[in-house]
Amino acid sequence: MTKFNCFLQNAEMLNHKFNIIPLLYGSLGLEVLTNSSLNADDIDILIPQVFVTGDKWKEFKLFLESHGYALIDEHEHTFRKDSVDYSYASVEGLKEFAGIDICDIEIRNISETKFMLLSLEQYLNVYQKSSLDGYRMNVKEKQDNQKIEFIKKKL
């Protein structure tokens, strides 16, 4: 199963159980948007903050665990299932981090599974902002710069 199919399976569960329309983020989202292989090593998913740092975290965690996801990093909200890592973060953080309003993100629907996907312009903004982050500058700078150039060429 491809990572995107793994994401769709996860998104379908989130749609039905919690009425969440998740945002496919990171390299995998950019792969899907551009139909290009960027060798995404995990699945980054943004969901409402209440599910990752609020009242619903415990319920969310137990639900995923009951469906075969193992929590491997509680600080990063990362789970693993079938050798694929799923990391969850707050979608609300996009506004402060990159100036992206949730209302401006496209909602897609594949086989009645809803998910959000950033535009190329929004991805450019995210990668330009993240390239200024200390961790990403030290660890991911080359990858981020390559993605920025890739996005600029696509635009």
Give per-residue pLDDT as tens, 101-126.
999 999 999 999 999 999 999 999 99
67 contacts: CB under 8 Å, gap ≥ 6: 13, 81
74-97 per-position pLDDT tens digit: 999 999 999 999 999 999 999 999
DSSP 52: T
What is the band of 135 on the pLDDT scale with cuts at 50, 70, 90?
very low
Percent of the chain with pLDDT over 90: 85
Q: Write the CA distances from 119 to 1, 51, 105, 106, 154, integer angstroms.
A: 25, 24, 7, 8, 11
For the chain, list the domains and their CATH numbers: 3-118 (3.30.460.40)
pTM of the complete model: 0.92
Query: Per DSSP, what are the bridge partners of residue 25?
Result: 44
Q: What is the pLDDT of residue 144?
A: 80
- At residue 24, the 3 state secondary structure works out as strand
Kindly tell me the burial class for residue 22, based on how many C-beta atoms sit within 10 Å of its own C-beta (0-12, 13-18, 19 or more): buried
One DSSP character per residue, 73-138 reads ETTTTEEEETTEEEEEEETTHHHHHH---GGGSEEEEETTEEEEE--HHHHHHHHHHHTTSHHHHH
